[in-house]
């Protein structure tokens, strides 16, 4: 089980993590929370699901490339020239969906932090056991972390990872590359545990 998720009887998944891995995962999840930003404060009207449905969020894509990758435009190819109509559609769609998407991504990252904080360390590590719902949150957070790190590393295609394997140890990107690859392995085995 060390280093990869395995299915649990009755659903869910488990993985053995050492203290360093727990610390890295927690730190990355906290950094993701900082990148996504704070949640909206809820007033009395916002407790109403209908009021939340019509609440408006941002209409422009984020300037930070990692955030733009986490919250892409819904219409058109981001690398191409969008016509005025596509920009208007994308802006309108973003206005009514980005706040909820940010909230879900924030909840996923908080779920990771919470489950790691609940671990009882013994002999330098612990076994993390996740319910099916926690697996879904973890999968979302692992995906978001890989997207953000991959954007910072300028990974565009799966083929770009071959170049990352060949980076010399003294390259300043190496720790981020190792985290990116490790998170990919965790994500893959979690998917297998959830579907297997």
pLDDT at 118: 96
Q: State how far the Cα of 188 lies from the Cα of 106, in Å rounded to an integer.
A: 22
pLDDT at 172: 92
pLDDT at 98: 86
Tokens 């422009």 -> residue: 60
Cα 108 from chain centroid? 7
Phi and psi at 126, nearest 5°, equal -160, 165
pLDDT at 196: 78
Q: State how far the Cα of 107 lies from the Cα of 111, in Å rounded to an integer.
A: 6
pLDDT at 43: 46
Phi and psi at 169, nearest 5°, equal -60, -30
pLDDT at 6: 96
- Is the distance from CB of 178 to CB of 65 less than 8 angstroms? no
- Is the distance from CB of 142 to CB of 190 less than 8 angstroms? yes
Distances (CA, A) of 15 to 1, 19, 78, 107, 114: 6, 13, 37, 21, 16
Phi and psi at 125, nearest 5°, equal -170, -170
pLDDT at 53: 56
pLDDT at 44: 43
From first to last of its 196 residues, the chain has per-residue pLDDT tens of 457 999 999 899 999 999 999 999 999 999 999 999 987 654 445 566 656 555 667 778 788 999 989 988 877 655 556 577 777 887 888 888 888 999 999 999 999 999 999 999 888 899 999 999 999 999 999 999 999 999 999 887 766 677 887 889 999 999 999 999 999 999 999 999 999 7
Q: State how far the Cα of 33 lies from the Cα of 145, in Å rounded to an integer.
A: 10
């Amino acid at each position: 089980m060390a280093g990869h998720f395995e299915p649990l009887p009755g659903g869910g998944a488990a993985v053995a993590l050492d203290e360093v891995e727990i610390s890295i995962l927690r730190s990355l999840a906290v950094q993701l929370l900082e990148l996504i930003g704070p949640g909206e404060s809820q007033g009395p009207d916002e407790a109403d699901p209908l009021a939340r449905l019509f609440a408006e969020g941002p209409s422009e894509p984020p300037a930070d490339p990692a955030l733009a990758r986490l919250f892409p435009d819904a219409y058109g190819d981001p690398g191409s020239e969008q016509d005025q109509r596509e920009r208007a559609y994308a802006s309108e769609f973003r206005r009514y969906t980005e706040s909820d998407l940010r909230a879900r991504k924030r909840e996923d990252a908080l779920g990771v932090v919470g489950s790691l904080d609940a671990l009882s360390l013994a002999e330098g590590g612990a076994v993390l056991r996740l319910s099916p719902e926690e697996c879904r949150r973890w999968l979302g957070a692992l995906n978001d972390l890989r997207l953000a790190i991959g954007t910072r590393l300028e990974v565009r295609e799966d083929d770009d990872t071959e170049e990352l394997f060949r980076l010399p140890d003294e390259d300043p990107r190496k720790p981020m590359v190792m985290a990116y690859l490790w998170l990919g392995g965790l994500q893959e085995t979690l998917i297998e545990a959830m579907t297997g």
